[in-house]
Structure 1
Amino acid sequence: MNNQNVSDNEDFDQPQQPQPRAIAIPSDWDLPKFNKLGLLTQQGIIMGMQYYALGTKLAYSYKPGWRYYVSRSPMSDDTDLLDESEINLLHPNELRSEIEAEIQFHLSKIAFLREQLQQMG
């Protein structure tokens, strides 16, 4: 068991580099228009994606192509399954505002947690 305190960890304040991850998409499928989970859109945050392949029941019932699981609120488990054509990217100014608000939220949370650690001694 590691008894090292978080504050003793030299790498705590260093940003962690994300590890590259990839999935293989069959060559007969169209490439997704939106290829990053967590992408902020006008409809919400892309949480997942699913492909309705040509010749399948889902593609016959709807239409072939990509569907995206979109969460309208990060505080909710509810998601909507939207067709690629139903999703719009945020305007760059809107995206900047959303990202800055998210950063500020997390910085406030970090400051609060550090204050709690200091109070513990």
Structure 2
Amino acid sequence: MQPTVSIPQGWDYPRFVPGQWTKQGLIIGMEYNPPGTLLAHEYGQGWRYAILPDKNSQEVLYCFDDQIEQLSATEVQAKIQAELEQHQQQIEALQQQLVVITGAANDG
């Protein structure tokens, strides 16, 4: 079952979604600062996105719609392909460990 998110009436719809890759990094969260609120006064109004520029870093960037650049379809494909290759290497390494452990157990 897919999760459902409801946007209250009067709020703008977000341009980006969690899990989406952008030129700034991976969107990991978002919040809406309604006009006329303290948050909007302090940070600006509208959707503000939490972006992880590098999955191996603790740094998180906070950006509004107009500060985020979308990746082209080719760039998204390249990101996904790189992720697949990294996971495939991890699978191969684990399979090798399993062979070593299984062989050692059979020898013992």
Alignment TM-score, normalising by the size of structure 2: 0.87
Report the secondary structure of 1:67's partner residue. Answer: strand
* Larger helix percent: 2
1:95 aligns with 2:76: yes
Cα distance in 2, alignment partners of residues 118 and 96 from structure 1: 33
* Alignment coverage as a number of residue pairs: 102
Structure 2 gap ranges (5+): 103-108
Which residue in the other structure is 2:8 paired with?
26
CA RMSD of aligned residues (A): 1.2
Provide the C-alpha distance between the structure 2 equivalents of 1:63 and 1:43, rounded to a whole number of angstroms.
Answer: 19
Question: 1:54 is matched with which residue: 14, 35, 44?
Answer: 35
Q: Cα distance, 1:50 vs. partner?
A: 0.8
| Secondary structure class of the residue paired with 1:23 | coil
CA displacement 1:24-64 (0-9 Å, x = unmatched): 221121111112x1211100110110110122111123432
Q: Displacement, 1:116?
A: 1.0
* Corresponding residue for residue 112 of structure 1: 93
Q: Give the partner amino acid of 2:50.
A: Y
Larger relative contact order (Cα-Cα within 8 Å, sequence gap ≥ 6): 2
The letter of the residue matching 1:45 is L
